[in-house]
Amino acid sequence: MRKGRGFILSRLVIIFLIIPLFFFPACQKETRVAEEGKAPKILVYYDFEGISNVCTTEQVLFGEARYQEARELLTEDVNAAIRGLIRGGAGEIVVTDAHGSGNPEPDILLDKMDKRAVLELRDEPFEPYIDSPNSTYQGIVAVGMHSYAGSPGVLSHTYTVHTMLKVNEIEFNESDIIALSATRFDVPLIMVSGDDVLEKQIKNLHPQTEYALVKTAKGKTDADFLPYEEALQQIEEAAYNAMKRIDEIPPFTLDPPYKMEFSFQTKSQTDIAANYPGLTRIDNCTLGLESNDFVEGYQVWIKLISLSALDNLRFFLSTMRGKEYFQEVVTEGRKAMLERWVAPGFFRDERKPVEKEKVERKYQGVQ
């Protein structure tokens, strides 16, 4: 039976409507595959205490006797990680400072850092554990890390020398902080390097994360080191394996609410920090906070660290009492304060706006 023109036209319209349905999904799939196939962008943190051949405070603090030589060690450990990441298929690599030695310049030697990576520099100060991770990264590497405060690892501490952090009854080290912060963006902690004490802690909470063991702790300031070239090879291979397994390593998960415990070395430090609102007193040296947002709880902890550090000044002064120069320092300090008190117009003059010369500077993380 002969079909009418209207019938034929309607069939043609249907065909033209259906054809794109067969092609568009394929095009969309190709686009998605291309995006997924892009070389992963990796964020590399470096700390100092877990670096190869490092175990003393003289190595990790700016101005101390062995700091300059330790910068070489730090740079080589980071470069080993970069080599492994590149060999494993990494794309863009961004390095950020998670140490803060007191040096206004980066601890890493920029002129010797592998040029296939870039150091994260910003115009304003930033908190690398919170501000550095974002959704553009596919993995995080932490080089030269250390175990949490109170554990027997090399130069063990948590963020600074007088604090400890628990989250949901779990003792946290700084690698854990990094991992939970990055969970906001579904970014996994894929590799860590450090000593044997930290290795146990990492394997406990992050069993899929690759680990490079570079030394065995014999005390807080003593360790048995792997032969140097072997340690660098361990770091490179762990970074390489992390890239090869990046899709197998999940982000760190810890369900809210986050019951956070902030502990300090002394009762007097804790007494000062306890003035911050919204906290509960758990014991002489521990304060508690519950938060549905880990970042908010972490930011409270940083404020408490600053508050509790006021007690460190009292401790510092107490160590000087009885020294022959102490009374001279106190006398000069009191004289300066009294002169400022009686200076005419002091308060009024201080309130006048002052145009400060802008100093061009780049910030590289913890300082």
Using pLDDT thresholds of 50, 70 and 90, give the confidence band for residue 327.
Answer: confident
Q: Which of 133, 216, 217, 124 is nearest to 177 (CA)?
A: 133
Structure tokens at 336: 């300066």
Q: pLDDT digits over 37-50, tens only?
A: 689 999 999 999 99
User: Do 78 and 133 fall into the same domain?
Assistant: yes
Q: Is 244 domain-assigned?
A: yes
Peptide bond into 250 cis (omega under 30): no
User: Do 182 and 278 fall into the same domain?
Assistant: no
Q: What is the CATH number of the domain that holds 244?
A: 3.40.50.10780
Backbone angles phi, psi at 105, to 5 degrees: -95, 160
- Domain termination site, one of 248, 270, 300: 248
Q: Is 288 domain-assigned?
A: yes
User: Do 53 and 111 fall into the same domain?
Assistant: yes
Give the model's pLDDT for residue 322: 76
User: Do 57 and 191 fall into the same domain?
Assistant: yes
Return the minimum-mean-pLDDT range out of 13-17, 234-238, 277-281. Answer: 13-17
Non-local (6+) Cβ contacts of 134 within 8 A are: 185
Give the model's pLDDT for residue 28: 35
Return the minimum-mean-pLDDT range out of 108-122, 156-170, 312-326, 346-360. Answer: 346-360
Res 113 pLDDT > 50? yes
Mean pLDDT for the stretch of residues 184-192:
98
Give the model's pLDDT for residue 17: 38
Non-local (6+) Cβ contacts of 81 within 8 A are: 44, 141, 143, 191, 193, 235, 236, 238, 239
CB 253 within 8 A of CB 176: no
Residues 289-308 as b/e (b if ≥16 CB within 10 A, e otherwise) read: bebeebbebbebbeebbebb
- Domain termination site, one of 290, 312, 334: 312
Backbone angles phi, psi at 103, to 5 degrees: -80, 125
Q: Is 191 domain-assigned?
A: yes
User: Do 142 and 214 fall into the same domain?
Assistant: yes
Q: Tell me the three state secondary structure of residue 127.
A: coil
User: Do 205 and 79 fall into the same domain?
Assistant: yes
User: Identity (one letter) of the amino acid at 5?
Assistant: R
User: Do 68 and 191 fall into the same domain?
Assistant: yes
Q: Is 222 domain-assigned?
A: yes
Structure tokens at 118: 């870039």
Structure tokens at 343: 């200076």
DSSP class per residue in 233-265: HHHHHHHHHHHHTGGG-PPP--PSSEEEEEEES
Q: Is 331 domain-assigned?
A: no
Q: Look-up: residue for tokens 């300066």?
A: 336
Half-sphere exposure of 303 (CA within 13 A, CB side): 14
Residues of the chain by 3-state class (helix, strand, coil), percent to 5? 45, 20, 40
Cα-based distances in Å from 74 to 48, 108, 190, 241 = 7, 6, 20, 21
Return the minimum-mean-pLDDT range out of 26-30, 96-100, 296-300. Answer: 26-30
More confident position, 327 or 176: 176
Return the minimum-mean-pLDDT range out of 32-36, 121-125, 182-186. Answer: 32-36
Q: CA–CA separation, 82 vs 235, rounded Å?
A: 9
Q: Is 5 domain-assigned?
A: no
User: Do 115 and 222 fall into the same domain?
Assistant: yes
Q: Is 131 domain-assigned?
A: yes
Give the model's pLDDT for residue 102: 87
Beta bridge partners of 97: 46, 365
More confident position, 360 or 196: 196
Res 339 pLDDT > 90? no
Q: What is the CATH number of the domain that holds 301?
A: 3.30.1360.130
User: Do 60 and 193 fall into the same domain?
Assistant: yes
Using pLDDT thresholds of 50, 70 and 90, give the confidence band for residue 36.
Answer: low
Mean pLDDT for the stretch of residues 110-117:
98
User: Do 238 and 262 fall into the same domain?
Assistant: no
- pTM of the model as a whole: 0.84
The count of structural domains within the chain is: 2
Structure tokens at 186: 């579904």
C-alpha 191 chain-centroid distance: 13
Give the model's pLDDT for residue 323: 80
More confident position, 189 or 10: 189
Give the model's pLDDT for residue 35: 52
Q: pLDDT digits over 65-91, tens only?
A: 999 999 999 999 999 999 999 999 999
Give the model's pLDDT for residue 324: 76
Return the minimum-mean-pLDDT range out of 117-126, 201-210, 220-229. Answer: 117-126
User: Do 263 and 234 fall into the same domain?
Assistant: no
Which structural domain range is residue 119 located in?
42-147+173-248
Q: Is 106 domain-assigned?
A: yes
User: Do 236 and 137 fall into the same domain?
Assistant: yes
Q: Look-up: residue for tokens 């911050």?
A: 276
Q: CA–CA separation, 167 vs 349, rounded Å?
A: 48
Tell me the H-state helices in the chain: 5-36, 57-60, 67-87, 128-131, 174-182, 196-205, 228-244, 267-273, 294-308, 310-320, 326-342, 346-351
